[in-house]
Structures are given as structure tokens and as C-alpha cells.
Amino acid sequence: MHDIYSQQKQNRRITVALMVCFFILLGTLGYAIDAYSFGTFELTGVPVATLVALSIAGINSLVSYFYGSSIVLKSLHAQPIVFENPSHKQLYNVVSEMCIASGIPKPKIYVISDPAPNAFATGRNPENASIGVTQGLLDTMNREELQAVVAHEMGHIKNYDILTMTVVTVLVGTIVLLSDWATRSWRYGGIRTKRDSKSKGMHPVILILIILLILIAPILSRIIAMSVSRQREYQADTSSAEFTRNPTALASALEKIAQSTSPVKTAHKATAHLFISDPLHRKLDDKEGMFADIFSTHPPIQKRIERLKRMAYGYTTARG
């Protein structure tokens, strides 16, 4: 039985391990393509194709880093809070309280005019972050539940989850780009590995493994990306419990969110991973297994609720 602090440490270790796997996959794929598809590594001693792909990824990262938040807010039709609205004023007060509890600067606050209860966070760091909630969330939650949801998003900001997912997204794009280059070179120029395998003394099994790696690398990278996404949701749940000292409040909020079946109308696949719960309400996010890990952005909400209730038990036991 884990309390909120041991659960937090475990989720961080898992996320770091998944990120290491990501970089190992990227490095292995890059070497295979440069050495056996383009032959650039053998000719120049430099992984040219990999460096070009990483340069493109770097440009995309810079755009996402400096302008990603504005793009997200605009695409979701999020608007600044209106203090004349009592629910917006309460949201402002709750955010102020959770800033004190979490020890981070106050983020910009936005509301999406949508009846589906949900919330998200975006930005590159705690100094340049934004929190958004739907009007449906404000209308559905009591004050303690709203605190818990805001604390969850504060957890994402404090733990630099948004930046982590930006890096992961760019890594996935780089791997897909490298794999695409390799398959295109095979299609139009022939497979170098087949032509030169005899001169290189390459074992046929190694050749087959290289080809398989290049073909399945995009799928593997998505599995890792979604694993990171799921783990950061667990991490933010434990952060919410830490900031509010009330894990059952977030469990209750998630139960209400799960009862809503209408999607957030302005949400789309590119922003779905930012929300506390899948805003598209795809059934796949309620399942587990390899297929779900590839395509789902969130852990099953019922499993999150169960974990939060166990945290509450552990926290109560620790206090007793």
C-alpha cells in the first residue's frame, strides 16, 4: 500500500526509465539508418541523416517551446476569466490558494465555454504557464473538488510535465521522420543493406532485425510516448493529493468527469493529452493492454480513482 510520497517517487522513476528507452531507441534507429540504409556513417564517420532529423526536430521544439501555449489556447477557444462571473471569481481564488500550496507562481487562468467538465494546463515552465477549465467543470464541481482538479494541473506545471510531453512529441516526430526516410530510400534507391551485406559480412538475421526496427520504430515510439503520458497523469494525481491533503476530493471529481459523456467540442487529438481526462471520451482510454497503450492518452479513470482512494487510506494511516 503506497502513500502519496512513495507513489510520487515511483512514478518519477518510471517516467525517467521510459525517457531513457526513448533515447536508446532513437540512437539505435539513427545508427541503423545511417550505417545500413544511407551509408553516410561508413563514408563520413558522421551520422548525417540522424543529425538532419534532429535539427528539424530542434526547430519544431523551439516553436513549441516559445509559442506552443498560445497556439493551444487559441485552438481551444479559451478565454480569460471574467471577474464579474461568480464561478470565475471562485476559480481565481482557488488557483491563488493552490499556488501557495504548491509553491509556484500564479499561472494565467482561462475558461472554455463548454458544458463538458474538464481542465488542462499548458506552458513551458512555472513562470510561463496557463491553466484552463471548462465552464462545465465550474458548474459541476464543489469547492473541494475544484481545488483538487486545479491542484492536479498545478502538479503538471510544477513537475514540468508540459515540457516533458513537448520533448516526447518531438522525439516521436523525429523517429517517424527517420523511419520514413529509410523506407523511401529503399523504395526508390534499393535497400543498401541487401546490396552490400555480403561485402560487410552482415549476418542475415542482423539484416532482418535492422529492417524490422526501422519499420516498427514509429509504433514503438508511440507506445513509449503514451506510457510517459499515462505516468505523468498518475504523478499529477499524487501531486494533487499532496497539495490539498485530500485525495478523495480528486477521486470524487474524476467520478463526476467520468459520468459526463459529451466531449469538449474544441478539443482535438493534438491537445487531448493536456486534459485531466480524455476530452474526446474515447472508449480506448478506459482499457489497458498493448493496443490501448499505443493509442490512449490517459490511464483508465477508474484505476486512477482506486489509486487515489488507496492514497487516502495511506495518508490517514500515516497521520494516525
- Among the listed residues 250, 296, 291, 293, the one whose alpha carbon sits nearest the alpha carbon of residue 273: 296
CB atoms within 10 A of CB 303: 13
At residue 257, the 3 state secondary structure works out as helix
Let me know: does 295 contact 226? Beta carbons within 8 Å: yes
CB atoms within 10 A of CB 262: 12
Let me know: does 314 contact 1? Beta carbons within 8 Å: yes
Catalytic one of 84, 97, 144, 153: 153
Cα–Cα distance for residue pair 166/170, rounded to 1 Å: 6
Is residue 255 part of the annotated active site? The answer reads: no
CB-facing half-sphere around the CA of 308: CA atoms within 13 A? 32
Q: Tell me whether strands 79-80 and 108-112 are parallel, antiparallel or unpaired.
A: antiparallel
Cα–Cα distance for residue pair 137/149, rounded to 1 Å: 9
Let me know: does 231 contact 303? Beta carbons within 8 Å: no
Cα–Cα distance for residue pair 285/282, rounded to 1 Å: 6
Cα–Cα distance for residue pair 93/126, rounded to 1 Å: 18
155-180 burial string, b = 16+ CB within 10 Å, else e? bbbbbbbbbbbbbbbbbbbbbbbbbe
At residue 280, the 3 state secondary structure works out as coil
| Torsion angles phi and psi, residue 196, rounded to 5 | -105, 5
CB atoms within 10 A of CB 258: 17
Q: Which residues are catalytic?
A: 153
